[in-house]
């Protein structure tokens, strides 16, 4: 367990996974947590950051003890924001502290919605969230989901969507052929379906990079790699692993189309990263994705949305992208027009600060 201590008359104790800064296993949740810890002090909430190592959301005994100590060390009435990955699988640790702390839980994606989630995890999550003074979600869809599935009072559920940094327009390659898929290689993100889809349109001269950690689910990553090899796509479809922020920015700049084939998705930070650069997207219409993609001021969707877990639908969309120049041009115009409407991280911090102000001194 590591701690970074802030100062000030009102401090928020932010509890995050121990790998929050591990570049070999990057995630949208980790990026969100880091930006929150950086941004809250600017808004008047000094941060005491506590990173707790463990195999969250189902940790071993040592990790549970570390989390218990971290919460016990917070004075009565202290304000605590805990990443849901850490909090939601261990109500036996978190709930006893909820009566004396102003406890907020940050839910990136409800744990029970993660593909392959352990049996009973959704019930444990519900127990934790119902005990919290506040629940913060990253999308309106996730907020509705928490209320519907876990019975949390709607007035205690808040939305603080991720922000996105301004970026220069992407140059792309030839305007059509280079696809980019960003996300940890896990069954939830659906890269296996993308491989099937691209195999079905192998007659088109596309290239595609799969950027993301291969360590979150090594077995699944190996399955995807075997599928790439089986279809003979190894020279065109590269599994490049995680990238540094600078290299990832270069990947976006070279992309003609960003693809997100997720089976589950609460928000989809990859999509706003693409749109911030004027790059159209191809994504599954699942969870919060349609809200994230949004529309430009003229009401145009800056991408193609297809059914989840459907390789044929993905393949059809890629073929349309390739064969219809007017469609491509329209999607690029919509993506560029969508850029000014994207919210920066300062909006995220304003939302979180408001939640913390509202629930300060209000134990669950």
69 vs 2, 50, 97, 192, 225, CA distance in Å? 12, 11, 11, 41, 41
Domain ranges of the chain: 2-163+344-359, 178-341
Q: How many CB atoms lie within 10 A of CB 139?
A: 24
Give 341-364 as a DSSP string. Answer: G---HHHHHHHHHHHHHHHTT---
Question: Residue 200's pLDDT band (boundaries 50, 70, 90)?
Answer: very high
Let me know if domain 178-341 sits in CATH 3.30.70.60: no
Question: Residue 7's pLDDT band (boundaries 50, 70, 90)?
Answer: very low
The pLDDT value recorded for residue 363 is 61
Alpha carbon distance 37, 40 (integer Å): 6
Over range 351-361, report the average pLDDT: 91
178-341 has the same fold as 2-163+344-359: yes
Tens digits of residue pLDDT in 301-341: 999 999 999 999 999 999 999 999 999 999 999 999 999 99
The pLDDT value recorded for residue 8 is 45
Q: Residues 202, 233: contact at Cβ < 8 Å?
A: yes
Long-range Cβ contact pairs of 151-157 (< 8 A, separation 24 or more): 151/126, 152/126, 156/132
Let me know if domain 2-163+344-359 sits in CATH 3.40.50.2000: yes
Q: Which helix or strand (DSSP H or E) is residue 319 part of?
A: helix 311-323
Alpha carbon distance 234, 67 (integer Å): 43
Helices and strands (H and E) in the chain: how many: 14, 13
């Amino acid at each position: 367990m590591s701690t970074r201590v802030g100062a000030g008359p009102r401090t928020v104790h932010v509890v995050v996974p121990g790998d929050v800064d591990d570049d070999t296993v990057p995630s949208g949740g980790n990026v969100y947590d880091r930006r929150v810890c950086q941004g809250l002090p600017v808004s008047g909430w000094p941060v005491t950051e506590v990173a707790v190592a463990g195999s969250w959301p189902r940790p071993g005994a040592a990790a549970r003890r570390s989390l218990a100590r971290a919460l016990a060390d917070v004075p009565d009435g202290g304000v605590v924001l805990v990443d849901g990955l850490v909090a939601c699988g261990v109500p036996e640790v978190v709930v006893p502290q909820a009566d004396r702390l102003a406890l907020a839980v940050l839910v990136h994606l409800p744990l029970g919605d993660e593909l392959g989630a352990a049996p009973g995890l959704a019930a444990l999550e519900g127990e934790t969230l119902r005990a919290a003074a506040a629940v913060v979600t990253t999308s309106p869809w996730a907020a509705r989901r928490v209320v519907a599935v876990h019975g949390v009072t709607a007035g205690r559920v808040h939305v603080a969507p991720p922000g996105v940094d301004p970026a220069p327009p992407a140059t792309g390659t030839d305007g059509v052929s280079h696809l980019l898929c960003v996300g940890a290689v896990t069954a939830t993100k659906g890269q296996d379906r993308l491989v099937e889809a691209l195999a079905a349109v192998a007659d088109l001269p596309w290239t595609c990079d799969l950027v993301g950690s291969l360590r979150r689910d090594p077995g699944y990553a190996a399955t995807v790699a075997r599928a790439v090899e089986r279809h003979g796509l190894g020279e065109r479809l590269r599994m490049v692993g995680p990238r540094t922020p600078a290299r990832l920015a270069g990947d976006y700049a070279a992309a003609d189309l960003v693809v997100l084939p997720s089976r589950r998705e609460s928000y989809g930070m990859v999509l706003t990263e693409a749109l911030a650069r004027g790059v159209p997207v191809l994504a599954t219409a699942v969870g919060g994705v349609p809200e994230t993609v949004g529309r430009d001021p003229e009401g145009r969707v800056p991408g193609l949305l297809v059914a989840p877990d459907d390789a044929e639908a993905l393949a059809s969309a890629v073929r349309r992208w390739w064969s219809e120049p007017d469609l491509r041009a329209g999607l690029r115009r919509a993506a560029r027009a969508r850029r000014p409407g994207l919210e920066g991280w300062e909006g995220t911090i304003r939302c979180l600060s408001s939640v913390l102000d509202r629930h300060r001194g209000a134990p669950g």
